[in-house]
Amino acid sequence: MSVLSRTLRKPVLVLLVLTASIAAALGVTAALPDNSPAARPAYTDPSGPLVARITQTRQQLDRVPGNAIGWAGLGASYVELARVTGDPANYGEAQRALERSLELKPEGNAEALIGLGALANARHDFTAARRYAEQALALRPDSADLYGVLIDALTQLGEADAASAAVQRMLDLRPGVPSFTRAAYDLELRGRTDDARQALRMALAAADTADQIAFCRYHLGELAFNTGNLDEAESHYRSGLLANPANAALRQGTAKVHAARGHLDQAIAEYTALTDRAPLPEYLIELGELLEAAGRPDEAAAEYQAVSAQFRRLEAEGATEYVDAAQLATEHGDPMEAVRLAQLEYGRRQSVITSDVLAWSLHKAGRDSEAIVYADRAASLGWRSATLAYHRGMILAALGEADEATGALSEALRINPHFSPLHAPRARAALEALGTR
């Protein structure tokens, strides 16, 4: 067993690292997307390398249409393209390619099963993703890549013990960027921030492509941002952009830092450019909230409408985005609809995130005695999350638990005083109100 595996052999809850899962599904690359050094500088659009890969694969399949592995690789590339571009139409293309692979090779086709698992994870059908991963593991029990797909599903299903065993197995099989980053998020969720940072530094040391470096720098930046260290966060985001200037997540990170420093106009401009290129629901919601914080409610409302339209497109392609949809409805729509959506998602998976989303939706709907049960569940792992602490504090305040509410809201602002341009000021206002009681 490796020294790293021994170091990280503690209970963990695993991050959904979709990028790693998609690349693993290709079965021919490292666990994160890998572009040749010669090709990288030519692309300014993050979807460019994937489009080129898809075009090349399609040309190969035109010549050899019976290549089952080629169809599986094409399907996995489409899953990744959907993630990068936010265009759910790519899920349908992925499904057709992966089904074609299975038609050509119905037995022993681990590549297609990996791809279907990654697609199910992307669509948030984590039960199906687990099933595909387990079927593929029966064919390849020592595949670290397959454990990545399985871990992602188990984590989102809230099966922490099973996910812990799977992540340790992945570490034992292949210590590297995908397993290190999963372990890092595990540790962060359990409040072990310093250990999480160490694991991410190990991941960065193991990275050997521009995309891997960018991926690790992004997560190091996120860890710094989530603990209130804006300078360190910006340094990691910018270092990642030197490796991959087209990385959308890193550009979101730098925009988020500008917003945290109060440079709202600059942050809005950066988010606008980002969402034009990668209209992912979370980015659109963040842009809307920035516009709202800047006193531009009409523009914010337009962004929220764009998110709703994106949710409809995702659902038409078999992707259920109930977490983001519930968050949107909670803050900017109908709280009762938010509760319905959050309950639907919690019924499918009982994770930290779904517990928190359901708690906050119930609070906004005026059902605080129910909300605190789920807020406590969300906090039970020990994750030092400003957002979770803020939600719990506001619920406690609504229940008249002034001392506990003060503690939770103070903790939120200690963890990250810049956690949200909308909600950090509300946390301060709530604390002031509690202090005057």
Q: Tens digits of per-residue pLDDT, 231-287? A: 999 999 999 999 999 899 999 999 999 999 999 999 999 999 999 988 888 999 999
Rounded (5°) CA angle 259-412-225: 40
Q: Report whether pLDDT(170) > 50.
A: yes
pLDDT recorded at residue 31? 31
- Please compute the mean of the pLDDT values over residues 214-230 and round it to a whole number: 96
Distance CA(395)–CA(274), nearest Å, equals 34
Pair of tokens at residue 132: 């595909």
Distance CA(375)–CA(397), nearest Å, equals 13
Q: Report whether pLDDT(351) > 70.
A: yes
pLDDT recorded at residue 46? 60
pTM: 0.80
Do residues 113 and 136 lie in contact, with contact meaning Cβ atoms separated by under 8 Å? yes
- In this predicted model, which residue has the larger pLDDT, 412 or 42? 412
User: How many CB atoms within 10 Å of residue 68?
Assistant: 18
User: How many CB atoms within 10 Å of residue 65?
Assistant: 11
Q: How far is CA 306 from CA 89, 248, 325, 330, in A?
A: 16, 19, 12, 16
Rounded (5°) CA angle 51-182-84: 20
Fold assignment, 1-185: 1.25.40
Q: Could you tell me how far CA 16 lies from the centroid of its own chain?
A: 6
- DSSP codes, 33-92: ----TTTGGG--STTHHHHHHHHHHHHHHHH-TT-HHHHHHHHHHHHHHHHHH--THHHH
pLDDT recorded at residue 388? 97
SS3 318: coil
Do residues 291 and 268 lie in contact, with contact meaning Cβ atoms separated by under 8 Å? yes
Q: Which residues contact 282 (CB under 8 A, 6 or more apart)?
A: 324
Distance CA(398)–CA(403), nearest Å, equals 12
- Please compute the mean of the pLDDT values over residues 94-118 and round it to a whole number: 96
Q: What pLDDT band is residue 24 in, cutting at 50, 70 and 90? A: very low
Q: Which residues contact 211 (CB under 8 A, 6 or more apart)?
A: 32, 33, 34, 35, 243, 244, 247
Give the torsion through C-alpha atoms of 292, 249, 194, 360, to 10 deg. Answer: 40
DSSP type of residue 419: S
pLDDT recorded at residue 437? 57
Distance CA(134)–CA(104), nearest Å, equals 21
Do residues 237 and 230 lie in contact, with contact meaning Cβ atoms separated by under 8 Å? no
Rounded (5°) CA angle 421-422-425: 85
Q: Where are the alpha helices (DSSP H) in 318-367?
A: 322-332, 335-348, 352-364
Pair of tokens at residue 358: 């359901």
pLDDT recorded at residue 15? 34
The closest alpha carbon to 36, from 204, 209, 177, 205, belongs to 209
Q: What pLDDT band is residue 40 in, cutting at 50, 70 and 90? A: very low
- In this predicted model, which residue has the larger pLDDT, 297 or 160? 297
Pair of tokens at residue 40: 């990288």
Do residues 145 and 24 lie in contact, with contact meaning Cβ atoms separated by under 8 Å? yes
* Residue 89 backbone dihedrals phi, psi, to 5 degrees: -60, -25
CATH number of 332-435: 1.25.40.10
Rg (CA), the chain: 21
Distance CA(136)–CA(1), nearest Å, equals 24
Distance CA(240)–CA(390), nearest Å, equals 30
Q: Report whether pLDDT(23) > 50.
A: no
Q: What is the 3-state secondary structure (H, E, C) of 131-182?
A: HHHHHHHHHCCCCHHHHHHHHHHHHHCCCHHHHHHHHHHHHHHCCCHHHHHH
